[in-house]
Amino acid sequence: MARGAAAVTGVNPPLYFYMQKIINIAIIAHVDHGKTTLTDHLLRQGGAFGERDEITELVMDSEDLERERGITIFSKNCSIHYQDYKINIVDTPGHADFGSEVERVLKMVDSVLLLVDAKEGPMPQTKFVLSKSLKLGLRPIVVINKIDLAGQRAHKVIDMIFDLFVKLEATDSQLDFPVVYCISREGIAKYNMEDKSTDLKPLFETIFKQVPPYPDKSAGPLQLQVANLKYDDYVGRIAIGRVTSGTLSKNLNIVVSRRDGRLEPGKIIKLSVFEGLKQVEVESAQCGDLVAAAGIPDITIGETICSVDDPHPLPLLEIDEPTLTMGFLVNDSPFAGKEGKFVTNRHLRERLERELQTNVGLKVEPLSGAEGFKVSGRGELHLSILLEQMRREGYEVQVSQPKVILKTIHGEKMEPVEQAIISVPDEFAGAVIESLGERRGLMEEMTTKHGTTTLIYSVPTRGLLGFRAEFIMATRGEGILHHSFARYERFKGEISKRQNGVLISGNNGQTASYALNNLQERGSLFVGPGVKVYEGMIVGENARSKDMTVNPTKEKKQTNIRAAGADEAIRLTPPIKLTLEQALEFIDEDELVEVTPKNIRLRKIHLTALQRERNPRE
> Is the confidence at residue 317, as pLDDT, over 80?
no
Cα 495 to Cα 417: distance, rounded to the nearest angstrom:
13
Q: Which CATH architecture is the domain 21-210 placed in? A: 3-Layer(aba) Sandwich (3.40)
- pLDDT tens-digit series, residues 143-167: 999 898 888 889 999 999 999 999 8
> Is the confidence at residue 496, as pLDDT, over 90?
no
* 35, 52 contact by CB (below 8 A): no
What per-residue confidence (pLDDT) applies to 536?
A: 93
> Is the confidence at residue 477, as pLDDT, over 80?
no
What per-residue confidence (pLDDT) applies to 7?
A: 39
Question: Which residue, 234, 235, 251, 186, is CA-closest to 45?
Answer: 186
Give the domain ranges of the chain: 21-210, 223-307, 407-490, 502-558+566-614
Cis peptide bond prior to 13, omega within 30° of 0:
yes
Q: Determine the number of helices (DSSP H) and then strands (DSSP E) in the chain.
A: 15, 37
* 203, 182 contact by CB (below 8 A): yes
> Is the confidence at residue 533, as pLDDT, over 80?
yes
- pLDDT tens-digit series, residues 173-191: 999 999 999 998 888 999 9
CATH of 502-558+566-614, one of 1.10.490.10, 2.40.50.250, 3.40.50.300, 3.40.640.10: 2.40.50.250
Distance of CA 396 to the CA centre of its chain: 22
User: Which residues in 437-461 are b (16+ Cβ under 10 Å) and which e?
Assistant: eebbbeeeeeeeeeeebbbebbbbb
What per-residue confidence (pLDDT) applies to 1?
A: 37
Cα 9 to Cα 226: distance, rounded to the nearest angstrom:
21
> Is the confidence at residue 456, as pLDDT, over 60?
yes
What is the β-pairing status of strands 179-183 and 111-117? unpaired
* 249, 284 contact by CB (below 8 A): yes
Mean pLDDT of 390-410: 91
Question: Which residue, 418, 278, 436, 301, is CA-closest to 358?
Answer: 301
At residue 178, what is the residue type?
P
CATH of 223-307, one of 2.60.120.620, 2.102.10.10, 2.40.30.10, 3.40.50.300: 2.40.30.10
Task: Say if pTM beats, i.e. exceeds, 0.95.
Answer: no
Cα 434 to Cα 311: distance, rounded to the nearest angstrom:
59
Q: Which residues, listed in sequence order, are joined to residue 422 by a DSSP beta bridge?
A: 455, 481
* 385, 460 contact by CB (below 8 A): no
- Lowest pLDDT segment from 58-62, 216-220, 282-286, 405-409: 58-62
- 3-state DSSP: the chain helix, strand, coil percent, rounded to 5? 25, 35, 45
Supply the mean pLDDT for the chain: 83
Cα 182 to Cα 287: distance, rounded to the nearest angstrom:
32
Q: Which residue has the higher pLDDT, 96 or 389?
A: 389
- The values of phi and psi at residue 498, to 5°, are -55, 130
- pLDDT tens-digit series, residues 260-294: 888 889 999 999 998 887 888 999 998 899 999 99
* 324, 383 contact by CB (below 8 A): yes
* 538, 603 contact by CB (below 8 A): yes
What per-residue confidence (pLDDT) applies to 509?
A: 92
Instruction: pLDDT band for 487, please (50, 70, 90 cuts).
Output: confident
- Lowest pLDDT segment from 36-40, 240-244, 282-286: 36-40
Cα 616 to Cα 15: distance, rounded to the nearest angstrom:
73
Mean pLDDT of 81-94: 80
CATH of 407-490, one of 3.30.43.10, 3.30.300.130, 3.30.70.240, 1.10.150.120: 3.30.70.240
